[in-house]
């Protein structure tokens, strides 16, 4: 049974970020709205460093409510090095972490 979460703005971003951190590098599922307005549903993982250059990013994703993840089983047929994504935590609709499902409204 999914838990319904009614949070908005910064509290939603912080709550979702904490849930993803609880996964501790294990896979989790998420449904969110992409920048172009389309929904993306997938299985993701944090802490993946393969195929990165080790330089770091030119910005801090947390300043923009984003979370960097690696997508497994991507539907576009991207190679492993192209499977890195930024999840906009403010547009999350569903998050399943450690067997618990959360629906955001």
Give average pLDDT by consecutive 10-residue segment, the chain, 105 residues.
89 92 90 93 80 75 88 70 82 94 94
Residue 76: what pLDDT? 66
Residues 9 and 25: their CA atoms lie apart, in Å, by 25
Provide Rg for the chain, Cα atoms: 13
The H-assigned helical ranges of 31-82 are none
Residue 72: what pLDDT? 84
Residue 49: what pLDDT? 64
Residue 102: what pLDDT? 96
DSSP 60-75: -GGGGTEEEEEEES-T
Residue 73: what pLDDT? 78
Residue 14: what pLDDT? 93
The H-assigned helical ranges of 1-105 are 9-22
């Amino acid at each position: 049974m999914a838990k319904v979460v009614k949070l908005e703005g910064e509290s939603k971003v912080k709550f979702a970020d904490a849930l993803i951190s609880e996964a501790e590098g294990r896979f989790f599922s998420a449904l969110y709205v992409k920048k172009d307005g389309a929904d993306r549903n997938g299985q993701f993982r944090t802490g993946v460093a393969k195929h990165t250059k080790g330089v770091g990013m030119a910005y801090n994703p947390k300043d923009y409510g984003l979370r960097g993840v690696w997508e497994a089983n991507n539907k576009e047929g991207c190679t492993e090095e192209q499977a890195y994504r930024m999840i906009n935590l403010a547009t999350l609709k569903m998050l399943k972490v450690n067997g618990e499902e959360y629906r955001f409204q």
